[in-house]
Chains A and B, each alone.
Chain A
């Protein structure tokens, strides 16, 4: 029942189509590989009149996000996109829309961080901003990059949400790869995205002071209010994905499961490597291992309940991190462990770091992780301590 026509598009163009269909008012962006195709396509759309928006070619990513903040506070539907170093330069500004409750939507073409300079994919940029209060969703393919961008607007701008939302698509793996996907009609997307109306905007007729200064007697209360509101976005996100599924026939959940019904061994990934991991699951099954795959669609707010449910019968959870939390192992693995700490029954958890700076992880890489993890479980049972292993390193 998926509606629309099949087209071949690279991930960047799919995102640009979503931004055009939601009819963004202001786009503010600074070019950085591998995000460039998104801004180039949007600039063409504005130049050709396909999209009626103000396109601000700012002089830095710091200003890209700052201009989005200003435009959103003035009542506009806004868009920006970045990657790697650019997202890090935005870092300071990212706190503003989440704490001032401005529904900025951003797409990040995930990229490694310097040094050495690398324009290629990993999740270091996404992990560096995980504590800021942005809704963070990960796409596995170009269809999802499109769908999640559309959904990001509907979620972020909901009056019960009013938080910024970020869609992550892996740089080059998705941003520059042409895949076939279903492109819905403009009208269907327009119908799914209501007009944006923020209850408080910068308006001389109704003057408000935004971004006032918070001394100790009030700062904690504002942060508590923000955190409660942020946790509450989970239900709205799921509701939106359900309604999206009803209209477009593609269904999303915070924790995606593949062959998990009877799985005792689960791989856990985020982003584009999920599809490779699925092939590994198939091969492991053929070899008699009851493997499955968990893909974290929603990274923030973290879907504790759905995640705990997904692993309740799992004996071994193998986590892939495409980033390093220096001195602490992999960030996803650390968080997954903490999410299960209070559970009486929990799987053994073995973390690996791989796919840094655009290093491919082939099917055999995932199979290696599972087999290595089984060995490590034996070591754990012998009372030995295990360390996070980096895979595919030439030594």
Chain B
């Protein structure tokens, strides 16, 4: 698409309104900042966002400046689920008591993979179990990037991080990535999805579904981090695509318990294509890569079975 076509067609597909302003301090090529931008386009103005401590909060809200053109609050690292519960409850009570008019306001939580699958999992689990009407977006860059690339439970097997370093007795991360979307599914909430800013329309579509559905919704967004993944910033989009095309990060939805693959590929690309472009996997030997390949295929097959895809 050349520039002229882009100006003609893109505004018809997606709003040109930017509720997440540029000029923030994210690293070059940050997949998370791009994901936030897309999510904010899908959310629109009528929203209250609760943000966990982490990269997003740091690069968007350095006093006295802010990138947020919507109502936004950050308090702590691990409590997004609880803060958003309180905001939603306040809205319900105040509308019922006639203190404010009923509106279409949406309540949304933002957190990274550490803020979601590690330190914030309890507050999130509580909020999902209680059935508050909110959308939770996990921006997964697969480690504690804000503090300097420390491993989280969402870091993939074999990846180098500063707290899972490669050494004579270590290949880096020695555990398999925690399956956070499945944990959300286990709460029997009406909507769970995975997404990636390399597929922006799919991402925005899922965010819209998440806010429109009544009850808790969870969208897990793979956010490429060139700084932490040790890759050139111009590979952000490509790596997101490869994560999906190799089956490492399949895109799917679970609507009221029904699985649906967003993209199915007759044949998955080898994981090697994804991994060889990233410094965090550089040290891996062929046998480890094969072990990862086998695991990815096994998990992908399980997902296909759940989605009823042969």
Q: Do A and B bind each other?
A: yes
Q: Report which A residues bind B (CB closer than 8 A).
A: 25-26, 28, 52-54, 56-60, 62-64, 66-76, 78, 92-93, 96, 100, 202-204, 206-215, 218, 222
What are 5 A-to-B residue pairs whose CB atoms are below 8 Å?
A66-B76, A67-B86, A93-B75, A207-B69, A207-B71
Q: Which of A25, A64, A208, A215 contacts B71 (CB 8 A)?
A: A208
B58, B69, B74 interface centre (most CB from chain A within 10 Å): B74
Q: Tell whether B122 is near chain A: CB-to-CB under 8 Å.
A: yes
Residues of A within 8 A of B78 (CB): 62
Residues of chain B having any CB pair with chain A under 8 Å: 45-48, 50, 57-58, 61-64, 66, 68-76, 78-79, 81-87, 89-94, 96-97, 99-100, 103, 105, 122-123, 125-126, 129-130
Q: Which residues of chain A are near B63, meaning CB under 8 Å? A: 212-215, 218, 222
Which residue from chain B places its CB closest to the CB of A24 in the assembled complex? B93
Q: Do A62 and B90 touch across chains, with their CB atoms under 8 A apart?
A: no
Residues of A within 8 A of B45 (CB): 204, 207
Q: Give the Cβ gap from A46 to chain B, nearest Cβ, in Å.
A: 10
Name which residue of chain B comes closest to A70, CB basis. B86
In-complex Cβ contact of A57 among B84, B92, B97, B130 (8 A)? B130
Residues of chain B within 8 A of A68, CB atoms compared: 86
Flag if A26 contacts B86 (CB, 8 Å).
Answer: yes
- A71 near B87 with CB under 8 A, answer yes
Given A52-B96, A54-B89, A56-B86: A204 and B70 interface contact (C-beta under 8 Å): yes
Instruction: Report B301 CB to chain A, min CB distance, Å.
Output: 35
* Residue from the set B46, B83, B91, B103 with the largest chain A CB neighbour count within 10 Å: B83
- Whether A74 contacts B74 in the complex (CB less than 8 A), given A63-B79, A63-B81, comes out as no
Query: What is the chain A residue whose CB lies nearest that of B126?
Result: A59
Cα A328 to Cα B70 in complex, Å, equals 49
State A203–B91 Cα separation when bound (angstroms).
10
Q: Which residues of B contact A213 (CB under 8 A)?
A: 57-58, 61-63, 74
Q: How far is the CB of B288 from chain A (nearest CB, A)?
A: 38
Is there an interface contact between A204 and B46, defined as CB atoms closer than 8 Å?
yes
* Whole-angstrom distance between the Cβ of A67 and the nearest chain B Cβ: 3
Partner of B91, one of A58, A59, A74, A215: A74
A25 to B88 CA separation, bound complex (whole angstroms): 12
Residue on A nearest B69 in the bound complex, by CB: A207
- Name the contact of B87 in the complex, choosing from A53, A59, A92, A202 (C-beta under 8 A): A202
Of the candidates B46, B71, B89, B91, the one whose C-beta lies within 8 Å of that of A56 is B89
Set of chain B residues within 8 Å of A25, measured between Cβ atoms: 90, 93-94, 97, 99
The reply to whether B93 and A209 contact each other, CB–CB distance below 8 Å, is: no
Residue of B nearest to A212 (CB): B61
B244 to chain A, nearest CB (A): 32
- Docked-complex contact B90 and A26, CB < 8 angstroms: yes
* Smallest CB gap from B51: residue in A: A211
Instruction: Indicate whether A59 sits within 8 Å of B125 (C-beta atoms), given known contacts A67-B83, A67-B86, A210-B74.
Output: yes
- Name the distance in Å between A126's Cβ and chain B's nearest Cβ: 22
Q: How far is the CA of A395 from the CA of B282 in the complex (A)?
A: 65
Residue of A nearest to B91 (CB): A74
Known contacts A66-B76, A70-B90, A212-B63; is A207 also within 8 Å of B126 by CB? no
Partner pick for B122 among A59, A203, A204, CB 8 A cutoff = A59
In the complex, the chain B residue whose C-beta lies closest to that of A92 is: B76
CB distance from A297 to the nearest CB of B (A): 30
Q: How far is the CB of A223 from chain B (nearest CB, A)?
A: 12
| Residue numbers in A under 8 Å from B73 (CB-CB) | 70, 73, 202, 209-211
Query: When chains A and B are docked, how far (Å) is the Cα of A222 from the Cα of B63?
Result: 10
Question: Within the complex, which residue of B87, B97, B126 is in contact with A73, where a contact is CB–CB below 8 Å?
Answer: B87
Which of chain A's residues have a CB closer than 8 A to the CB of B91? 74
Q: Nearest chain B CB to A68's CB is how many angstroms away? A: 6
Structural contact, B70 and A75, CB atoms closer than 8 A: no
CB-defined contacts of B87 to chain A, threshold 8 Å: 70-71, 73-74, 202
Name the distance in Å between B81's Cβ and chain A's nearest Cβ.
Answer: 7
Q: Is the CB of A63 within 8 A of B76?
A: no
Do A60 and B122 touch (CB < 8 A)?
yes
A58 to B66, CA, bound (A): 31
Identify 9 new A-B residue pairs, CB closer than 8 A, beyond the known A52-B96, A66-B123, A74-B91.
A25-B93, A26-B93, A63-B82, A63-B123, A71-B87, A76-B90, A202-B48, A208-B72, A212-B74
Considering the chains assembled together, what is the distance between the CA atoms of A64 and B76 in angstroms? 14
- Taking a contact as CB atoms under 8 Å apart, the answer to whether B75 and A211 are in contact is yes
Q: Which residues of A contact B122 (CB under 8 A)?
A: 59-60, 62-63
Complex Cα distance, B202 from A375, in Å, reads 81
Determine whether the beta carbon of B93 is less than 8 Å from that of A69: no
> Which B residues are CB-close (under 8 A) to A66?
75-76, 79, 82-83, 86, 123
Q: Nearest-CB distance from B123 to chain A (Å)? A: 5
A215 touches B69 (CB 8 A): no
For residue A208, which residues in chain B have a CB less than 8 angstroms away from its CB?
A: 71-72
Q: How far is the CB of B22 from chain A (nearest CB, A)?
A: 16
- Judge whether A62 and B82 touch: CB under 8 Å: yes
Residues of B within 8 A of A69 (CB): 75, 83, 86
**A58 touching B58 by the CB < 8 A rule?**
no
Pick the residue among B47, B50, B64, B94 that contacts A204 (CB under 8 A).
B47
Q: Are the CB atoms of A75 and B47 closer together than 8 Å?
A: no
Query: With A54-B92, A76-B90, A100-B75 as given contacts, are A70 and B97 in contact (CB-CB < 8 Å)?
Result: no
Residues in B with CB closer than 8 Å to A204 are 45-48, 70-71, 103, 105
CB of B66 within 8 A of CB of A60, answer no
Which residues of B are found within 8 Å of A78, using beta-carbon distances?
86, 90
Closest 8 CB pairs of A and B: A70-B86, A67-B86, A59-B126, A66-B82, A76-B90, A63-B82, A66-B79, A71-B86
Closest partner residue, chain A, to B85 (CB atom): A67
A75 and B90 form a contact (CB under 8 A) = yes
On whether the beta carbons of B79 and A58 are closer than 8 Å, the reply is no
